[in-house]
Structure formats: C-alpha cells, structure tokens
C-alpha cells in the first residue's frame, strides 16, 4: 500500500479538529507547545475538573487548525479522571472536542508499550498519524526503527518528530495539510471475540454505531459514559448482563492479544543492535537521588533551597508592586472627585487588587521551581520517596506535589490533586492542603511575630529567633495537615483499591517553553480564581467599614475632629484618628463588638474582631485592617504598624493588648483558620459539592478556635 502524502491539494483538506493522544511521558505536551506556541489556552471539560488544553496550529498554507492535547493515558481502559475524559471524547462524537484525526505520539525507546493504545485508536476507526518522538534516544540505545516498514505494517503515516528541538514539526504539518480524510474499511487489529459478537451487534443497532470496536468499548464503559442517556445506560447494562460480559477478563484478553500483534508487527520494523547493558545516566543519578539515606537528605535540601529562593528573590518585586499600588491608590484618591465612588476605587478595588497581585512573585517563583523539578524528572522521584510515609496518613505519594505547592498558594495546589486516581486519597489531600502555610500568611506572621519575640534576639548567636518562630509556625501547619489527614483516613470509607504504579521517566534537560507556559497557567489560575473573589469581597468589606447604622458614623467623625482640634494634632494624625473612630462606628465595628464575647477567651478584643472579619475572605487583609483600626496613616510601612500596635493598651487593665498570650494565640489562629474564600470556591469546584468546602471551613475554624483558646488560656 502507499500513503498519499504528496498530493498537494489544499482544497481537499477538510479537517476540523485534531487531537494529540499518547501515553504519559511520551513528550506529547512538548509537541503541543511546539505546534501551537502561545496560541493555546487551558480550560475545563464541561462538568469535569480535567484540564482541557486547546490551541490553534498554523499550517504551511496559512490555514489554522484547532488542536486539543488530550491527557496522557495508557489505554482506553481508564483508571483516573484524566484518562476517563480521553475515553469519553474519543468514543462520543457529541463532544465538541471529538477529533476527526489523531496524531498519536509515541516514545521510540519503548514502542511495544506505546503502540498498545495506538492499535486501539486505529480500531476505533480514526484516521491516525503516528508521531515518533525521542528517536535520538532510541538511536543512542541502539534501537533502529525502519520508518517505511513501520508505515507499511501499521498502515498509518509515520513521522519522526522531536518536540524539544523542533525536528519533524514541519513534516508533520505538511502531512496534516494534505491528509485525505477518508474512512478506511475496518480491518481490526483486534478482531471482536466470538463470544462478544452478538452483544456487539445488538449494541451497534441500539446505539447506531457502525464500528465494531466502538461498540465493544461501549459494552465496557457505556453504562458510565456521560453522553449516553440514562435509558441507554440501562439498556447497555441489561444487554451486557444478559450476555454475561466480563469487562476485566475482556480487557486482559484484548491487551494480551494486542501485544502479540504489536510484537509481530515490530519484528519487521524495529531492530535492536548490540546488547546495551551499560548503565544509563538516569541509573547512575538515581543511585544517589533515590538512595535510602542520601535521597531523603537531597529532598530536604532541595525543599530548603526552594523556600530560601522564593523568599529572597520575591522580596524586591513584591516591594515594587506594593509601592506601585500604594501610589496608584493615592493618585486615584486625589484625582477623582471626593465621593463614595472614589472611596470604593481607591480604598476598596485598588488595594484589593494589589493584595492579589503582590503574591505573584512568590507564586511564580515557587511554581517555576516546581515545574523545573517536574520537567527534569525529579518530582516523580520525590513522589516515589514519600509514598510510604504519606500512605500512613491516608495520602498518596502524589500528594507531595500538592503539599509543596500549598506553600505558595492552596488554589493551584488543590487543582494539582487531579492526578491522584484514588477518590479517598484525593479528598484527603484537598482537605488538608489549606493547612499548609501559604504565602498570604507571611504578612500576618511578619507583623505578629514581632510581639512574640523581640526583634534582636538570637539563639546561640546563629539563629534569628523570629525566623525560628515563623519556621515553627510552618511546621505547625504541616503537622496539622498530616494529623488531619490521619483522622480523615480513619473516618472516610471507600471500597476503591489504592494502587500505585508510576513511571519514573528518564532525567532530561528542561524545555523552557513547557516550563514557562506551565508557570504562566498556574499564575493565571491564581489571579483569576483568587482575584475575582478577593475583588468582590474587598468591595463589600470596604462598604462595611465605610458605612454605619444611622448617623453614628457622622457623629463619630464630628467627635473625632473636635478631639483632634482640641489636642492640636497634626493634619495626618487628625485624619488617622478620624479613620479609626469611623471604623469603630461602622458596620464592621459593630460586627467586631458583636463577636467580641466569642473571641474574648482567645484574648482578642473587638478591634482584632474587625480584622478577623475583614480578613475572612483573604488573610493578608489583616495587616491593612490593623493599620486602619489603629489609625496608622502609612499603611505600607510595616514597622509603623507594629510600633502603633505595641502602644495599644487594654482599657480595663492598662496593659498592652499585644502581649505574648494574645499575639501567639492570634498567630496560631492564622496558622489553622481557613480565612480564604478563593480556596473554598476552588474546593467546591474540584469536589463538585458544597459538602467538602463547608466541612473544611467548619473544621479549620474549629481547629483554629480551640488551638488559640488553649494557647491563650495556658499562657495568660
């Protein structure tokens, strides 16, 4: 047979959408990035929390072609959410993502395994182009692949590509441009077994399917597919039961048969010359990196260096963003006419936005490092090393990626749990991740720690005591996460088996495009997810703090002004005093006083109460609120806030409010409390129920309350 790839007839091209399909670690994403560049976006499949990566590919003739990068999967028998969506999209042409051509990406160094799913896709009747990736590595391993022989035996066009350096991309595009979309007669690589023929025929009639293998797949999975109507699902169930159809047995038989066929086909196309027994670079590196003792040491050193880098590199850009927004807020306040709109924008929207954007440097740097570790292949080693330990607590080795990401921000961290196939392990990971101290806690810690430890004290002359306390708070959060996971492990029941078979890909140099695009996506997710909620809530909170019941605010303002004149305060001090009195008379002030009896046992007064309320949506708001309440004019200056808080006295005893018991209790409160509406929203979306986020909110609030209660009562 011959494959007509040279007929240069652009009008013939009627492709509407192509999909990239392949096993995990086949280099599919590099190829996708290479094909689409920045012309891509990540969305969600409707109703499921699986990333949908789509993009536009520019053909040499100038036409564009939509491409979808389907999640990596080993076969059409899914074991995780990601794999399930691949099956759904390929089986059901009602999906708008359903492709009319598949570019199947395979790792040339392990063709036997990678061709398994290719043969399934060919049997589904899709036109396919096989893109052979990593042929350079195959050459090194003395695996010789005869492309024309491979084309002939598989009856599909084959093209060598290299997603990382761009080899073969043009050839692939030419192939796509001239691809004749014609249905081939079905010659199945896996003929339908005799005992299933009757079932397949009745399913073909029932569901109006013309492909035998598609019908067989519907026998396996039809009863759980989303696009199959409830009635059809019942009918499929009925038919498979009647036919005594055994799904797993069938899967085993099919897989074995296909491997047999693949082996037969590859006999002609692949030659292994020489006995490559020498140990590879990966083998030698893993001797150290996954070593029982050194491996753990390296893991902790990498973690330590990562956090160190995040905090030192992020400092300058964060200060720039803070200053920038401070300037913007001030300029807007002075430029716009003095009315409530001015207030909403300059005191609500802009600081709210600034509060979100200020975390971008930390989050971007942390995700840059995490993505780099993932790209070079280290992350799967971290998963390998931590699986046993985390399993004691109902987690999975894969949870380590979410837990580490949680140090930056819980939102992308929770989204990264999608790779955990086991339901219980995934829920536990989602539940405990917000207990890991995220970057939004740092500003709160930084202010409050000053009241717990005097600034200049050090321990043994080496360790800065404030640093040590903050480190302790991080460990406390991590400890609470682990403990909570363990409790959940005992509480949650599941019949689902947990298994863990994971590829450890060979180490490779990172491809910068993959890294940058991933970081960009994560940061975008954070800005969009957290941004919209924080923005809305900061407007609501501004209103709460700016309006009060009846005339009370006005009366308070007048009184403060008189007082300021009487005390001959400077204009700035007078303004600060007015602001402080106004917030006291506002709705927020009333709420603060309303909850005071509840938080009194934790050592908090109504002023702290206001801050707890305003920072309910996002913890970092705490610092700004403190500045307003204590009438500190210069919000951006941390030390002036600390100075002012230090002077605050209890009205009854005259002792400082922020003494050790209260400050520590407040710190502990912020370690445990949820105080992040964006996380609640993301958990709701990821678990598709209100049950989990509400449980989590109640649990974390209770934990925070009890912990603060004990700390305060013990110390005071």
Partner 1 sequence: MKGFLLNLSLFRFNPNKDLMKKRLIDVHNGESARILGFQDEEMGVKLLEMGCFPGSSIHIVRSAPFGCPLYVKVGSHQLALRKQEAETILVA
> Applying CB under 8 A, which residues contact partner 1?
74-75, 77, 79, 109-110, 112-113, 116, 141, 248-249, 251-253, 255-257, 259-260, 263, 276, 280, 282-283, 286, 290-293, 295-296, 380, 383-385, 387-389, 397, 497, 499-506
Nearer to partner 1 by Cβ, of 8 and 283: the residue is 283
Q: How far apart are CB 143 and partner 1 at their closest, in Å?
A: 9
Q: How far apart are CB 543 and partner 1 at their closest, in Å?
A: 53
**Concatenated DSSP letters for 125-146?**
T--EEEEEE-HHHHHHTTEEE-
Nearer to partner 1 by Cβ, of 70 and 449: the residue is 70
Nearer to partner 1 by Cβ, of 213 and 384: the residue is 384
Nearer to partner 1 by Cβ, of 120 and 631: the residue is 120
Closest to 625 (Cα-Cα) out of 449, 447, 453, 452: 447
Do the Cβ atoms of 66 and 18 come closer than 8 Å? yes
Nearer to partner 1 by Cβ, of 292 and 493: the residue is 292
Q: How far apart are CB 387 and partner 1 at their closest, in Å?
A: 5
- DSSP-H helix ranges across 92-168: 111-123, 135-140, 147-154
Q: How far apart are CB 432 and partner 1 at their closest, in Å?
A: 20
Residue 504's CB: how many other CB atoms inside 10 A? 14
Nearer to partner 1 by Cβ, of 138 and 704: the residue is 138
Residue 633's CB: how many other CB atoms inside 10 A? 16
Distances (CA, A) of 382 to 286, 388, 402: 12, 11, 12
State the burial class of residue 571 (Cβ atoms within 10 Å of its Cβ: 0-12, 13-18, 19+): exposed
Q: How far apart are CB 496 and partner 1 at their closest, in Å?
A: 11
Q: How far apart are CB 275 and partner 1 at their closest, in Å?
A: 11
**Lookup: tokens for 11:** 């009008």
Q: What span, in angstroms and rounded, lies between the C-alpha atoms of 108 and 26?
A: 9
Nearer to partner 1 by Cβ, of 75 and 687: the residue is 75
Question: Which 3 state secondary structure label does DSSP give 617?
Answer: coil
Start-to-end CA span in the chain (Å): 87
Nearer to partner 1 by Cβ, of 400 and 450: the residue is 400
Nearer to partner 1 by Cβ, of 380 and 546: the residue is 380
Nearer to partner 1 by Cβ, of 111 and 414: the residue is 111
Torsion angle of the four alpha carbons 404, 406, 412, 417, in this order, in degrees rounded to the nearest 10: 60
**C-alpha dihedral sign at 178, 181, 182, 188:** positive
DSSP state of 37: T
What length is written for the chain? Answer: 716
Q: What span, in angstroms and rounded, lies between the C-alpha atoms of 486 and 588?
A: 38
Do the Cβ atoms of 67 and 20 come closer than 8 Å? yes
What backbone torsions phi and psi does residue 347 show, to the nearest 5 degrees?
-110, -15
Q: What span, in angstroms and rounded, lies between the C-alpha atoms of 132 and 160?
A: 5
Nearer to partner 1 by Cβ, of 237 and 246: the residue is 246
Nearer to partner 1 by Cβ, of 291 and 691: the residue is 291
Distances (CA, A) of 110 to 118, 135, 272: 13, 10, 12
Distances (CA, A) of 269 to 129, 150, 276, 709: 17, 5, 19, 72
- DSSP-H helix ranges across 344-398: 350-357, 360-376, 378-391
Q: How far apart are CB 217 and partner 1 at their closest, in Å?
A: 15
Q: How far apart are CB 290 and partner 1 at their closest, in Å?
A: 6
Q: How far apart are CB 495 and partner 1 at their closest, in Å?
A: 13
Do the Cβ atoms of 431 and 696 come closer than 8 Å? yes
Nearer to partner 1 by Cβ, of 142 and 201: the residue is 142
Q: How far apart are CB 48 and partner 1 at their closest, in Å?
A: 22
Nearer to partner 1 by Cβ, of 76 and 353: the residue is 76
What backbone torsions phi and psi does residue 437 show, to the nearest 5 degrees?
-65, 120
Q: How far apart are CB 364 and partner 1 at their closest, in Å?
A: 30
Closest to 484 (Cα-Cα) out of 170, 294, 703: 703
Nearer to partner 1 by Cβ, of 286 and 521: the residue is 286
Q: How far apart are CB 85 and partner 1 at their closest, in Å?
A: 17
Q: How far apart are CB 101 and partner 1 at their closest, in Å?
A: 24
Q: How far apart are CB 251 and partner 1 at their closest, in Å?
A: 5
Closest to 240 (Cα-Cα) out of 257, 224, 256: 224
Q: How far apart are CB 283 and partner 1 at their closest, in Å?
A: 8
Q: What span, in angstroms and rounded, lies between the C-alpha atoms of 621 and 144?
A: 61
Q: What span, in angstroms and rounded, lies between the C-alpha atoms of 418 and 430?
A: 10
Q: What span, in angstroms and rounded, lies between the C-alpha atoms of 603 and 591?
A: 17
Long-range contacts (CB closer than 8 Å, 24 or more residues apart) made by 377-381 = 377/282, 377/504, 377/505, 377/506, 377/507, 377/508, 378/289, 378/302, 378/507, 380/502, 380/503, 380/504, 380/505, 381/286, 381/289, 381/290, 381/295, 381/504
Nearer to partner 1 by Cβ, of 83 and 521: the residue is 83
């Amino acid at each position: 047979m011959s494959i007509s790839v040279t007929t240069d007839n652009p009008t013939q091209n009627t492709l509407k959408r192509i999909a990239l399909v392949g096993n995990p670690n086949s280099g599919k994403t590099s190829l996708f990035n290479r094909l689409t560049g920045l012309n891509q976006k990540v969305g969600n499949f409707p109703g499921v929390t699986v990333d949908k990566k789509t993009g536009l590919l520019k053909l040499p003739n100038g036409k564009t072609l939509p491409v979808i990068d389907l999640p990596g999967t080993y076969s059409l028998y899914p074991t995780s959410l990601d794999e399930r969506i691949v099956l759904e999209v390929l089986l059901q042409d009602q999906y708008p993502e359903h492709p009319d051509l598949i570019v199947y990406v395979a790792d040339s160094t392990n063709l036997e395994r990678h061709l398994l799913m290719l043969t399934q896709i060919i049997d589904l009747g899709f036109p396919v182009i096989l893109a052979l990736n990593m042929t350079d590595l195959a050459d090194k391993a003395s695996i010789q692949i005869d492309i024309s022989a491979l084309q002939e035996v598989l009856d599909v066009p084959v093209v060598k590509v290299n997603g990382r350096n761009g080899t073969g991309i043009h050839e692939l595009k030419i192939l796509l441009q001239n691809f004749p979309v014609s249905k081939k007669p079905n010659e199945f690589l896996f003929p339908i077994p005799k005992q299933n023929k009757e079932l397949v025929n009745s399913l073909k009639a029932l569901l109006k399917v013309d492909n035998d293998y598609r019908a067989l797949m519907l026998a396996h999975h039809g009863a759980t597919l989303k696009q199959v109507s409830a009635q059809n699902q019942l009918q499929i169930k009925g038919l498979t039961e009647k036919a005594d159809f055994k799904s797993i047995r069938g899967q085993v038989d099919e897989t074995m048969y296909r491997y047999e066929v693949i082996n037969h086909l590859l006999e002609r196309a692949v030659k292994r010359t020489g006995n490559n027994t020498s140990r590879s670079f990966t083998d030698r590196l893993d001797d150290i990196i996954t070593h029982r003792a050194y491996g753990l040491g390296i893991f902790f050193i990498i973690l330590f260096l990562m956090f160190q880098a995040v905090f030192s590199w992020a400092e300058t850009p964060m200060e720039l963003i803070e200053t920038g927004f401070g300037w913007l807020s001030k300029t807007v306040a002075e430029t716009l006419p003095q009315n409530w709109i001015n207030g909403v924008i300059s005191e609500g929207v802009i600081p709210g936005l600034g509060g979100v954007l200020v975390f971008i440097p930390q989050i971007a740097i942390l995700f840059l490092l995490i993505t780099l570790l993932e790209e070079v292949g280290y992350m799967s080693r971290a998963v390998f090393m931590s699986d046993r330990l985390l399993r004691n607590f109902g987690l999975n080795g894969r949870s380590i990626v979410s837990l580490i990401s949680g140090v930056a921000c819980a939102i992308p961290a929770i989204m990264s749990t999608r790779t955990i196939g086991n339901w219980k392990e995934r829920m536990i990971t989602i539940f405990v991740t917000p207990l890991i101290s995220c970057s939004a806690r740092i500003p709160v810690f930084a202010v409050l720690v000053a009241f717990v430890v005097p600034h200049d004290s050090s321990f043994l002359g080496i360790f800065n005591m404030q640093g040590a306390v903050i480190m302790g708070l991080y460990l406390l959060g991590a400890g609470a996460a682990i403990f909570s996971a363990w409790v959940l492990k005992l509480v949650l029941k599941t019949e689902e088996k947990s298994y863990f078979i994971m590829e450890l890909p060979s180490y490779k140099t990172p491809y910068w495009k993959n890294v940058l695009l991933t970081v960009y996506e994560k940061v975008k997710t954070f800005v969009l997810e957290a941004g919209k909620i924080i923005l809305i809530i900061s407007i609501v909170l501004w209103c709460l703090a700016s309006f009060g019941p009846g005339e009370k605010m006005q009366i308070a303002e007048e009184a403060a002004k008189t007082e300021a004149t009487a005390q001959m305060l400077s204009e700035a001090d007078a303004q600060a005093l007015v602001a402080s009195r106004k917030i006291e008379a506002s709705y927020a002030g009333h709420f603060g006083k309303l909850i005071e009896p509840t938080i009194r046992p934790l050592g908090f007064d109504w002023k702290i109460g206001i801050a707890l309320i305003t920072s309910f949506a996002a913890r970092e708001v705490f610092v700004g609120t403190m500045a307003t309440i204590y009438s500190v004019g210069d919000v951006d200056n941390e030390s002036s806030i600390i100075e002012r808080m230090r002077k605050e006295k209890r009205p009854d005893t005259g002792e400082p409010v922020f003494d050790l018991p209260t400050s520590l209790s407040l710190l502990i409160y912020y370690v445990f409390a949820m105080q992040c509406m964006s996380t609640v929203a993301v958990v709701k979306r990821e678990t598709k129920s209100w049950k989990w986020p509400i449980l989590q909110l109640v649990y974390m609030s209770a934990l925070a309350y009890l912990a603060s209660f004990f700390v305060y009562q013990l110390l005071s």
